[in-house]
Structure 1
Amino acid sequence: MTKSPPRESTRPLLWGVLVLSGAANAVTSALGVNLVLSTVFGVVTLAAGIALIANYRTHR
């Protein structure tokens, strides 16, 4: 009897991080909050996007 491989739970987590950090980046940029905070959210958004692309390319 063969077992199916376990479903990866990283993709939904990465999508959640991407959406939340993107929204936080947009809000902090629009409100003129500290530039460092907005930059941190932007970097997190970029990292989540890159991780999603890497995850897709690895598992296709």
Structure 2
Amino acid sequence: MADPYRISSGTEQTPPATRADGGGLLRPLLWVVLIVSAVANGVSSIVGLPVLVGAGFGLLTLACVAALIVHHYRHRRG
């Protein structure tokens, strides 16, 4: 691991950090699905749709939250 406090002679160059997730489209997609499913869950409860519809949207919301947490811990720096 490189020492961030060491002064180098300038001959060493480290490559810039690259994103391993291929451009980062997964995280914004998960956020959009999370927001849409949470709103749909609330609307289904207010309108009075069958309980299974609201439960399905609730499970989708929880799955998006879990996927965002896993994505965060797998792609964090440090």
- Normalising by structure 2, what TM-score? 0.69
Counterpart for residue 50 of structure 1: 66
Question: Which is helix-richer, 1 or 2?
Answer: 1
User: Which has more radius of gyration?
Assistant: 2
Superposed CA RMSD in Å reads: 1.5
Query: Any stretches of 5+ residues in structure 2 without a counterpart?
Result: 1-14
Poorly superposed stretches of 4+, deviation over 2 Å: 2-6
Query: Any stretches of 5+ residues in structure 1 without a counterpart?
Result: none
Give the number of aligned pairs: 59
Percent of aligned pairs with the same amino acid: 39
Which one scores higher on RCO, CA 8 angstroms, separation ≥ 6? 1
Deviates more, 1:15-24 or 1:27-36: 27-36
